[in-house]
Amino acid sequence: MAVSISVLVVIVSLHLMASVLAIGAERRRSTAKVVPDQYDESDYCVYASDASTAYGLSAFGLLLISQTVVNGVTKCLCFGKGLVRGMSRRIAIFFFVFSWVSFLGAEACLLAGSAKNAYHTKYRGIYGGNKLSCETLRKGVFAGGAALALISMVASIVYYVVHLKADTGGWEKHENGLSMTSVENRDHGSGQFEKL
């Protein structure tokens, strides 16, 4: 099986778009300021735009689609024909796990950041001189999601390419070893499959 350029383009473009959206979400995080109420002795928080929540959720969705494409094409390493034993198989398994770990980390950052950014402290009465704290998202959560999305992109590409190299590619397991399913043995002219 050859490397499909269209699959690589989809993987790279979705991951890059998710990273750009995550960086945009980091730059547009909600800010808040405490404003005194003009009618009584209480203060309340006024929040800026919630654009970063939409950016973060969009990046979350794009990463999810990209991971689905990678695992759909490679049959999630669990289904389909087995991989040929050797170094390529070990590398494919390592990058499969690494791509999932970085993907889950990125998704956790993006989802938690979007949820926290959407949360706004409600109107609070201030009695006794306590200062009102307007809760906002900590700096760097979306940036961490963007960085993990780029790491996930590299891991997914390496996993995809190495998986194709380790794929049986037409070889099937039989009782007596491996045999080719599509090439006939022309040396013997018998029409039987060539056995290794």
Residue with tokens 């198989």: 89
Q: Does residue 130 belong to any structural domain of this protein?
A: yes
Q: What is the pLDDT of residue 49?
A: 74
Instruction: State pLDDT tens for residues 112-140.
Output: 998 888 876 665 555 545 566 777 788 89
Closest CA to 76 of 101, 64, 93, 59: 93
Question: What is the total count of domains within the chain?
Answer: 1
| Residues whose CB falls within 8 Å of the CB of residue 24, separated by 6 or more in sequence, listed in order | 51, 52, 55
Is pLDDT at 30 greater than 90 in this prediction?
no
| Residues whose CB falls within 8 Å of the CB of residue 79, separated by 6 or more in sequence, listed in order | none
Largest CA distance in the chain: 99
Q: What is the pLDDT of residue 196?
A: 44
Is pLDDT at 96 greater than 90 in this prediction?
yes
Q: Does residue 18 belong to any structural domain of this protein?
A: yes
Is pLDDT at 161 greater than 80 in this prediction?
yes
Q: Does residue 46 belong to any structural domain of this protein?
A: yes
pLDDT tier at 33, thresholds 50, 70, 90: confident
Say which DSSP state 86 is in.
S
Q: Does residue 111 belong to any structural domain of this protein?
A: yes
- pLDDT (average), residues 94-108: 96
Q: Does residue 180 belong to any structural domain of this protein?
A: no
pLDDT tier at 182, thresholds 50, 70, 90: very low
Q: Does residue 187 belong to any structural domain of this protein?
A: no
Helix (H) or strand (E) holding 111: helix 87-118
d(CA 118, CA 54) in angstroms, rounded, equals: 9
Say which DSSP state 167 is in.
B
Q: What pTM did the predictor assign?
A: 0.74
Instruction: State pLDDT tens for residues 34-51.
Output: 777 777 767 777 777 778
Is pLDDT at 164 greater than 70 in this prediction?
yes
Instruction: State pLDDT tens for residues 54-89.
Output: 999 999 999 999 999 999 988 877 766 667 777 888
Q: Does residue 177 belong to any structural domain of this protein?
A: no
Q: Does residue 185 belong to any structural domain of this protein?
A: no
Q: Which range of residues forms the domain containing residue 28?
A: 5-169
- pLDDT (average), residues 82-97: 84
